[in-house]
Amino acid sequence: MESELLHLTVQDRQVVDLTPDLTRFCRGRGDGLANVFAPHATAGLALLEVGAGSDQDLADILGHLLPRDDRYRHRHGSPGHGADHVLPALVSPSVTVPVLDGTPMLGTWQSVVLVDTNGDNPHRTVRLSFLAG
């Protein structure tokens, strides 16, 4: 298995498009599976259309599902930080994409995005892995 670690700086509560990084990583690798994994307790990954408002819609929905208030038992950090720790139960910390001839087989409007609602930690890593098939 081949693997690479991305180092990201995420501004306050964002959806970050990782598709260009995944495409570059897969180039020239042939057929197989690409896995994208966020090794964090407060971030997840999703397949989502970006640039047409869906990324903001996701952020809005997560804000409704996981309000930023004092209802959480997990209370360190900024107000509502407990919501950040619930996020990976709703937005998985990994996605796997088939790769054919070095190209991720994403749908026309699909992008791989990091979903990070944790404004307390702007530094993130994401592991890209490729398993040849």
pTM, entire model: 0.92
- In one letter, which amino acid is 81? H
Fold designation for 2-132 = Jelly Rolls (2.60.120)
Per-residue pLDDT tens over the stretch 66-108: 998 888 888 787 888 888 899 999 999 999 999 999 999 999 9
Q: At what angle do helices 54-65 and 81-90 cross, to 10 degrees?
A: 120
Interval 43-53: pLDDT, tens: 999 999 998 99
The residue extents of the domains of the chain are 2-132
Q: Which of 105, 106, 71 is nearest to 85 (CA)?
A: 71
- How far apart CA 51 and CA 120 sit, in angstroms, is 25
